[in-house]
Structure 1
Amino acid sequence: MGERKLDSEGCQGIKFKNVTPDIFSCMKKKLQDYGIETSPGNSGILEGNGIVAYFSWDGEANLVIEVQERPLTTYCGQVSGKLRAFLRECHEY
């Protein structure tokens, strides 16, 4: 198992707006397809590929993901970039 870094700088609090119920479901599916398990419901834990994060969606439009752990070889920007790519893909449906 690769080493992981507890995150204390920069990755926490990635915020997304205009996340409808369909987009939220799409994002959870994309995360699962990418190998990241998600808790059921509107809040919980995302875990997989060396990443541990907490997510919270208000049920209407606002999603916050706080990364707690990530692989040492993965930068915060890579994590947020992948999440933003999933969001863009889900907006296209």
Structure 2
Amino acid sequence: MGERKLDTEGCQGIKFKNVTPDVFSCMKKKFQNYGIEVQSGNSGVLEGKGIIAHFSWDGEANLSIEIKERPLDTYCGQVSGKFRAFWRECQRY
């Protein structure tokens, strides 16, 4: 596995609105299918593909994700863009 970058000042938190229980469940499945393990529950750690992030969902509509580590050759925008794509795909369900 390649080197990782600690994001102490890098990536900003990603905030998602309109995350219903169905959307949250769908997003968790998308992460897992992509190779990122998701802790059970409404908050915890996402880890895989060189990414470590903390997530917190309020159980109703708001999800926050903070990227803590990422591969050196991956920009914050690439990671957040992939996460946002999962959210958009899950909004269709």
Tell me the residue number matched to 1:28.
28
TM-score, with normalisation over the residues of structure 2?
0.97
Report the Cα distance in structure 2 between the residues aligned to 1:36 and 1:12, rounded to whole angstroms: 19
Could you list the runs of 4 or more consecutive aligned residues of structure 1 that deviate by over 2 angstroms after TM superposition? none
Report the Cα distance in structure 1 between the residues aligned to 2:43 and 2:82, rounded to whole angstroms: 19
Report the Cα distance in structure 2 between the residues aligned to 1:84 and 1:10, rounded to whole angstroms: 18
Tell me the residue number matched to 1:51.
51
Report the Cα distance in structure 1 between the residues aligned to 2:40 and 2:64, rounded to whole angstroms: 16
TM-score, with normalisation over the residues of structure 1?
0.97
Aligned-pair distance for 1:8?
A: 2.1
Tell me the residue number matched to 2:87.
87
Q: How many residues align?
A: 93
Which digits, 9 at most, give the CA deviation of each residue in 1:3-60, with x for residues without a partner?
Answer: 0000023423110011000000000000000000000000000000000000000000
For 1:2-81, list aligned pairs within 5 A. 2-81=2-81
Stretches of structure 1 lacking an aligned partner (at least 5 in a row): none
Report the Cα distance in structure 2 between the residues aligned to 1:73 and 1:51, rounded to whole angstroms: 12
State the superposition RMSD in angstroms.
Answer: 0.8
Q: Secondary structure at the match of 2:2?
A: coil
The answer to whether the 8 Å contact 1:12/1:68 transfers is no
Output the amino acid matched with 2:48: G
The answer to whether the 8 Å contact 1:57/1:64 transfers is yes
Identity level (%): 80
